[in-house]
């Protein structure tokens, strides 16, 4: 039987030698030792006192050359940071865009570079801010380490796998980032003081309150550089928007250098020149566009669900989720977990292997329907549109249409439909501040008044600014697929035979989903009074439908609110009827198939 456990190793004596292949400019061991000695004597940086700067230069596809100093490079030269070489930035997007294989390693170098560039620009432009070497180091280190805790396939891990594997556990990759940072600072060659460690972790979290009692105090504007909670504009977004667009060959023409030069601290807030307001708006739109086009692509999302199903099938044996609390084990949780599962011969992992094999054979879960919805309905949708409610609606649809003989359905197929055959995926997409305009939270200055910042009005920026800044996309998948293939039993002796089946449920799942939406539209048992419907509207809710939803809407007692769901509208786009309002609960005509469609022929 294969051992599912990953052996822990002792990193207390790890060296800085990681076989780096990037362009490097280093000094010899004698100078290194001299600097270490002078730093320990003075408690500060001694590189300048020996007449040279210890730096390393990296060639980057987005920022050209990135130069980082020796203390930052010591953090880079740890197993904890090198681990990010094995985690793709875009998760499963490379299954759609084959060249989108850049890693969290490259992204973190880019964020460190932009953070260092911004803080040093402010230091030179505004000496009255009294930005210290400690400030520069902590901001740069926070940029470098902000994603240390990402698990396999990046956000697939903490937004999908952990909530499913460990229900009720409050865990984010930022928690793991702090855990991994604490672990790497214990290595002999890493030079980070206790005060610096506290500041770095607070900057990663964007929580100024963590440092409120520190003396000397930490400057509040530093917390807007890495994780800006005020308006979402930070160097993390600057880098991933530029890097992800570059990776798929659709680069956005946004000058990051211009935004860094434009940045100015006024009243402890990072503000921008009013001339750059449109550039900031374009940046926010680029974020939305990435979510719309790339991060939530239907095939990439299908692969995500298959990976999660494979991991969950392996979890009882391999105990993968339990390793998130141990940095010595989390060190080896990377994208290669898929290959590790597939390399096993344990019969108990056969089902997990068969799911992951389908990804390699491109036999993906099928999207049977999709539609975009108003932002304020997302909580309601997660609560009421679930695999369970779709199954119930599918059977009711079959019963009602069988009475009139209008649709011929195989009753055996309808009765065999189960929750596990259906996936409800809800993807939130916005400009960076959920339903709000991010520019409402940005202050601007002008050349004539460089020390006076205020909020802009729409007329100061554009008269055609969007009226809506957020929406959500629903997709319904079936786990079955047309998968009759000939596979050598010698190559895959433990292949799950359920894998070799023809899809039966494509059409009836779509019909059931639309029946459910129709019921909600008619408002027979549920109406709306405000966008906040129930605890399910919480932003802390899961990204996906849980599959264990509440009772069907027809079983929910009505209330006395007067506003019905039937008031939701959409706009028909035609050349002759601009802004024509139509039923917002209408069907997606581009995905419609007959209810008996099985996916084995063209609809």
pLDDT digits (tens, 9 = 90+) for 582-599: 455 667 889 998 888 876
Please count the residues of the chain.
603
Percent of the chain scored above 70 by pLDDT? Answer: 75
Q: Which residues participate in catalysis according to the annotation?
A: 173
In the predicted model, is pLDDT for residue 545 greater than 80? no
- The reported pLDDT for the residue numbered 124 is 98
Q: Residues 42-54: what's their mean pLDDT?
A: 46
Instruction: Give the pLDDT band of residue 200 (cuts 50, 70, 90).
Output: very high
Tokens encoding 531? 């966008």
Q: Is 0.85 surpassed by the pTM of this model?
A: no
Per-residue pLDDT reduced to its tens digit, 135-145? 999 999 999 99
pLDDT score at 576 = 56
Per-residue three-class SS string for 105-173? HHHHHHHHHHHHHHHHHHHHHCHHHCCCHHHHHHHHHHHHHCCCCCECCEHHHHHHHHHHHCCCCCCCH
At residue 74, the pLDDT reads 96
Taking only Cα atoms into account, the Rg of the chain, rounded to an integer number of angstroms, comes to 27
Q: What's the CA gap between 193 and 352, in Å, rounded?
A: 45
User: C-alpha distances in angstroms, 33 versus 40, 47, 52, 55?
Assistant: 11, 11, 14, 15
Taking residues 257-265, report their average pLDDT: 97
The pLDDT confidence band at residue 573, using thresholds 50, 70 and 90, is: low
Q: In this predicted structure, what is the pLDDT of residue 603?
A: 35
DSSP 8-state code for residue 433: B
The confidence band for 569, taking pLDDT boundaries of 50, 70 and 90, is low
Q: For the chain, give the mean pLDDT.
A: 82
**Pair type for strands 454-455 and 443-445:** antiparallel
Q: What is the reported pLDDT for 254?
A: 85
pLDDT in tens, 205-246: 999 999 989 999 999 999 999 999 999 999 999 999 999 999
In this predicted model, which residue has the larger pLDDT, 581 or 389? Answer: 389
pLDDT for 549 equals: 31
Q: Is the pLDDT of residue 471 over 80?
A: yes
């Amino acid at each position: 039987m294969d051992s599912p456990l990953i052996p822990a190793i002792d990193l207390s004596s790890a060296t800085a030698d990681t076989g780096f292949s990037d362009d490097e400019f280093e000094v010899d061991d004698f100078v290194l030792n001299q600097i270490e000695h002078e730093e320990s004597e003075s408690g500060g940086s001694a590189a300048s006192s020996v007449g040279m700067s210890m730096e390393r230069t990296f060639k980057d596809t987005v920022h050209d050359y990135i130069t980082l100093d020796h203390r930052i490079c010591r953090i880079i030269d740890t197993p904890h940071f090198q681990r990010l070489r094995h985690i793709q930035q875009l998760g499963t997007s490379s299954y759609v865009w084959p060249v989108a294989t850049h890693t969290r390693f490259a992204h973190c170098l880019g964020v460190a570079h932009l953070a260092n560039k911004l803080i040093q620009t402010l230091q030179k432009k505004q000496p009255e801010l009294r930005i210290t070497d400690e400030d520069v180091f902590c901001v740069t280190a926070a940029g470098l380490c902000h994603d240390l805790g990402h698990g396999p396939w990046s956000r697939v891990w903490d937004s999908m796998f952990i909530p499913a594997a460990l229900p009720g556990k409050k865990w984010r990759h930022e928690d793991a980032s702090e855990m991994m940072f604490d672990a790497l600072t214990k290595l002999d060659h890493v030079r980070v003081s206790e005060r610096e460690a506290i500041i770095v972790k607070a900057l990663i979290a964007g929580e100024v309150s963590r440092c409120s009692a520190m003396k000397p105090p930490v400057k509040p504007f530093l917390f807007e550089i890495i994780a800006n909670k005020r308006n979402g504009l930070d160097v993390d977004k600057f880098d991933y928007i530029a890097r992800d667009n570059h990776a798929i060959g659709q680069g956005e023409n946004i000058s990051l250098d211009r935004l860094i030069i434009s940045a100015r601290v006024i009243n402890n807030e990072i503000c921008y020149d009013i001339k750059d307001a449109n550039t900031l708006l374009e940046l926010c739109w680029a974020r939305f566009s990435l979510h719309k086009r790339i991060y939530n692509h239907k095939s990439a999302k299908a692969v995500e669900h298959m990976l999660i199903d494979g991991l969950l099938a392996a979890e009882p044996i391999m105990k993968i989720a339990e390793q998130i609390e141990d940095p010595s084990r989390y060190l080896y949780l990377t994208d290669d977990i898929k290959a590790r599962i597939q390399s096993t011969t344990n019969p108990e992992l056969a089902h997990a292997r068969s799911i992951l094999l389908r990804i390699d054979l491109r036999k993906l879960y099928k999207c049977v329907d999709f539609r975009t919805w108003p932002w304020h309905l997302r909580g309601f949708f997660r609560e009421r549109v679930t695999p369970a409610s779709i199954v119930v609606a599918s059977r009711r649809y079959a019963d009602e249409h069988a009475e009139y003989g209008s649709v011929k359905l195989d009753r055996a197929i309808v009765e065999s439909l189960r929750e596990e055959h259906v996936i409800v995926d809800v993807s939130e997409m916005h400009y960076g501040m959920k339903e709000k305009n991010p520019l409402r939270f940005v202050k601007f200055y002008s050349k004539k008044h460089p020390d006076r910042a205020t909020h802009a009005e729409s007329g100061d920026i554009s008269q055609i600014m969007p009226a809506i800044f957020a929406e959500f996309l629903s997709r319904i998948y079936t786990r079955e697929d047309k998968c009759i293939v000939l596979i050598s039993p010698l190559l895959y002796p433990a292949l799950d035979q359920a894998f070799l089946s023809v899809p039966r449920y494509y059409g009836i799942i779509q019909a059931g989903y639309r029946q459910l939406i129709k019921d909600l539209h008619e408002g027979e048992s549920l109406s709306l009074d405000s966008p906040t419907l129930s605890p399910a509207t919480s932003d802390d809710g899961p990204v996906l439908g849980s599959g264990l939803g509440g009772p069907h809407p027809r079983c929910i007692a009505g209330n006395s609110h007067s506003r019905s769901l039937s008031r939701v509208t959409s706009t028909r786009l035609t050349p002759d009827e601009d802004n024509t309002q139509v039923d917002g609960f209408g069907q997606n005509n581009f995905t419609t198939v007959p209810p008996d469609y099985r996916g084995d022929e063209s609809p």
